[in-house]
Amino acid sequence: ACAPFRRLHLCNKNIQQIKTENITTHNLLVDVCYAAKYEAESLIRYHPQYQEKYGDSQICTVLARSFADIGDIVRGRDLYRGGGRGRKQLEENLQKIFGNIYDKLLEENRTNGKNGQTLQERYKGDADNNFFKLREDWWNANRQDVWKAITCNADTGNKYFRATCDSDRKGSFSQAKDHCRCGDDKKPDKSKAGDGDVNIVPTYFDYVPQYLRWFEEWA
């Protein structure tokens, strides 16, 4: 698939410059969130020009596409083959980073008196496969924070194109109406069990194969 122009200029400098020594999942999350924030600033800045040509373009959809591409980079699924040595170095760094995170997870399990066997079974063979399982788990655990970062400059009234929010867990879906976030127009009720854990991410683009997303974007 031919990468869209937006992907060619995706702002991932923070991820590229991560130091692999002494990395933790928290360091990585900070850098991924900064990359998402800077990418959003660029997209929001130039969106009015894009909207003049494509009148039905919505900023939440544009942000969701880059959010999904960042997820593919983190998980080692990115199909973009440009960028020369920088792209290859980024993937090599991510493999080292997740290798370090894996070692630290095992060490923490042993330090806390837990058996690391379950962890080893979960990620059996992952080291030979670029830690894809661990990377997938990391993204699933942290995608909500990355979405917060990429939408932090979205305005009130910016809404996602489809009703995908199920914050009340009743099976009926509502639309993300403000800041491209589910439930952002209301504060969570801490008196209700689980109400503070509402998933604010309205998009599932990061679970759609990248080549299909790109085909749709070009269309």
Within the chain, residue ranges assigned H as helices are 5-8, 13-16, 25-53, 59-75, 84-111, 117-122, 132-150, 210-218
The answer to whether position 162 is within a domain reads no
The answer to whether position 188 is within a domain reads no
- Which pLDDT value is given to residue 185? 52
The answer to whether position 10 is within a domain reads yes
- Which pLDDT value is given to residue 48? 81
The answer to whether position 149 is within a domain reads yes
User: What's the CATH number where 73 sits?
Assistant: 1.20.1310.20
User: pLDDT confidence of 184, banded at 50, 70, 90?
Assistant: low
The answer to whether position 35 is within a domain reads yes
User: pLDDT confidence of 77, banded at 50, 70, 90?
Assistant: very high
Q: How far apart are the first and last CA of the chain?
A: 12
Percentage of the chain surpassing pLDDT 70? 78
What's the domain count of the chain?
Answer: 1
- Which pLDDT value is given to residue 190? 42
Closest CA to 164 of 139, 201, 193, 115: 201
Q: Which residues contact 60 (CB under 8 A, 6 or more apart)?
A: 151, 154, 158, 159, 160, 161, 176, 180, 202, 203
Residue-range definition of the domain harbouring residue 99 = 5-157+206-218
pTM of the model: 0.84
Element housing 165 (H / E): strand 163-165
The answer to whether position 190 is within a domain reads no
The answer to whether position 182 is within a domain reads no
User: pLDDT at residue 186 above 80?
Assistant: no
The answer to whether position 32 is within a domain reads yes
CA distances from 52 to 47, 214, 217 (A): 9, 21, 17
- Which pLDDT value is given to residue 181? 93
Which has more confidence, 173 or 208?
208
